[in-house]
Structures are given as C-alpha cells and as structure tokens.
Amino acid sequence: GDQLRAWMSERQYTAARLGAELGVTERTVFRWRSSPRVPAFLPLALEAQAAAAPVVVEYVIPRPGNFPHDPAVGADGIVWYTDQTNSFIGRLDPATGKITDYPTPTPGSGPHGIEVAPDGYVWYTAQRTGMLGRVNPTDGSIDEFDLPYEARNPHTPLVHQGKGWFTDANNNTYGRLDPATGKVDVWTVAAPKSVPYGMYAAPDGSVWIAHLGTNQLGRVNPVTGVLAAYPLPDSGARPR
C-alpha cells in the first residue's frame, strides 16, 4: 500500500533491486513474515507483486528473413499475422507454439494489415498488388479480391456488416468491398493529403477513420459511404 511505496521510494528501491540484495528473485514465494533487514509487510507485498507480474512469451517464426507486421487474434485464441516482406499469412497456436504459414496466391503481394472477422475468416490488405485477401481459417485457402487503381495501396482492413472496408493512406481514399458480388466502392477524402489510416467500427454501425495527415477523425455512413470530418482541438494532432 502507501506505506510500502513510501518506504521503497525513500530508498529508491524496486522489487528487482531488493530481490537482488536479498539473494532472491521477484518470483520467489516468501514464507517468512519478518526480517531484521526489511519491514514485516514487505515480503508479503513482494509476493503479491510477483504473482501479478506479467509474463512475456516469445514465439520464434522458423522461416529465415521473416517480417511479421500486424497481428490479429480470433475468438478461439489463434493469432494471425502478416509477413509483409515474404508475402505469407501466419497462424500461431499459443497453446502449442505451432506456427503455420500460408503463401499469398499472388507472389510479392506485401500483406500489411490484418483482421479476424466475426465468422472467423481472416482478412488482410495486399499493399503492393492492390488487393484484399480472405483466408479460410479451416484449411488456409485464400481468396483475393482486386481493388480499383485509386485504391492500389490498401492499408488497414476492417470487416463490418459483412463487407470488407479498407483505407489507402497513399492515395487518400477509403473503400468497401462486397465479397458476395466483388463490387468495390471507393471514396476520396475531401481534405488533400489527409492520409486515411486506422479504421474502427462503432456500435452505432458507423465506421471511424483516423486521418494521419491532418488533425481530423472521420465518421463514415456505412450505407452511403459519406464521410463527416471532425477536427481535433490540437491543430498539430496526427491521429493514427
């Protein structure tokens, strides 16, 4: 509590430093209740801190020269990622550590952003070839959807109301794909060099876009595609 923080702050202690001086680690489970060297409450406090400490587990991707870019986690706990340099979509099962890679059908497509849809399918933007990709999580098969020239560098994907949405930061556009028909609608942001970047679907059904090149957020009507811009108070803000 406050007593522990004050005691450690006064002596510039951290749990790691104190543990080193006592010859133990932060994860040691202390069994004593007092010591002439530390306050009686400290071992119990360190025990609680150690129990709550986060654990970082790293998973090594076996392919040499891999370049994992964005991750996404499905409802089943499976982690998906894009290997942008080598054009693979990766699947990691954290429970077993098993990694499976699926090459994109079009070589050199440069998959960038990635999103797990509510139905479990995995969507990604193929930034170098102007496509959206959809991965079947069961067998790893991939469908590719061509985008118009004005959306030739798709950046961030978003699956919303059964449609594949995306931003194209390089070309100041955003768009929507209907996978059932292949129809693509693309809109240009009115503000020049707006750099539409991140996307998020709101509970009311609207789609929000962060404009990295300006100090604005955009709210998109999911039916008409019309964007309403909302400036942020700080003119120097660059939402991403």
Work out the pLDDT band at 154, boundaries 50, 70, 90: very high
Whole-angstrom Cα Rg for the chain: 24
| pLDDT tens per residue across span 90-128 | 999 999 999 999 999 999 999 999 999 999 999 999 999
Q: Residue 197 pLDDT more than 70?
A: yes
Q: Residue 193 pLDDT more than 50?
A: yes
pLDDT value of residue 35: 44
C-alpha distances in angstroms, 76 versus 93, 116, 119, 121, 232?
A: 10, 11, 11, 12, 37
Tell me the C-alpha distance between 133 and 145, whole Å.
6
Q: Residue 182 pLDDT more than 60?
A: yes
Residue % of the chain over a pLDDT of 90 = 74
Q: Residue 34 pLDDT more than 60?
A: no
Higher-confidence residue of 222 and 57: namely: 222
Higher-confidence residue of 183 and 47: namely: 183
Q: Residue 171 pLDDT more than 90?
A: yes
pLDDT value of residue 31: 35
Work out the pLDDT band at 13, boundaries 50, 70, 90: very low
**3-state SS record for 157-210:** EEEECCEEEEEECCCCEEEEECCCCCCEEEEECCCCCCCEEEEEECCCCCEEEE
Q: Residue 30 pLDDT more than 60?
A: no
**CB-facing half-sphere around the CA of 181: CA atoms within 13 A:** 7
pLDDT value of residue 56: 87
Per-residue pLDDT, averaged over 134-141, amounts to 97
Q: Residue 8 pLDDT more than 60?
A: no
